[in-house]
Homo-oligomer: A and B are copies of this chain.
Amino acid sequence: MRRAGAELDWPALVALQPAAGLIPERLRKHTRRIDAHPGETLFRIGDPVRCVYLVIAGEARLIRRDRKGGEVILQRSRGGFIAEASLDVRAYHCDGIAAEQSMLLLFPAGEFHRALDEEPSFRKAWHAHLASEVRTLRAQCERLCLHGAAERIAHYIEAEGTDGVVTLTQSRKSWAAELGLTHEALYRALRRMQDAQTLVVDGNRLASRR
């Protein structure tokens, strides 16, 4: 399940996930690889933060459970870092799981900090990454403040898609959760929008009209 950093094939990793290319040489030496099964727990809320995680393949999620057992997705990463905001705190504030069969790279937090200090280009990339995460989250808050399923769908296509077209990378059910809706409400809203000619659905491709 875990392999030493020395034997990792970095060119192949970068091909799979461009973000791996940002990792500077000195940090590569300290990298471990993990292959996780669907549903496997990566870390739990309260665990001390020892590593930074980079998703190379598959999907990792940050989740939190409410008292009723309901599950809220706080972050969903298909390629790229996950739980980046935990780098500066002692313990995780949510659970991390692999949503499907996934490959991840682990960087020791201490070495990661050292690399940030010593590699300006890596630091800039990390800055940009954090800032982009902030913008994405703000857009999501804006979306969740909209009333009405159709408005949230339209906002999602606008924000996450290109030229009014978005390709879903998840099931509609989990998309519904991301939109703060039940899956039934999402299905019905999609149908209404198609009937009203304001949306064209082709598998996982959604195109907004007007």
Contact = CB atoms under 8 A, between A and B. Distances in A.
Interface of A: 62, 64, 66, 72, 74-75, 84-89, 93-94, 116-117, 120, 123, 126-128, 130-135, 137-138, 140-142, 144-146, 177, 180
Contact of A88 (B75, B131, B177, B180): B131
Given A89-B131, A145-B177, 16 more contacts: A62-B138, A66-B146, A72-B142, A72-B145, A74-B138, A74-B142, A85-B134, A85-B135, A86-B131, A88-B127, A130-B131, A130-B134, A133-B134, A137-B138, A144-B144, A144-B145
Contacts of A128: 88
B140 A87 contact: no
A128 B66 CA distance: 27
Contacts of A142: 64, 72, 74
Given A74-B138, A142-B72, A142-B74, A85 B131 contact: yes
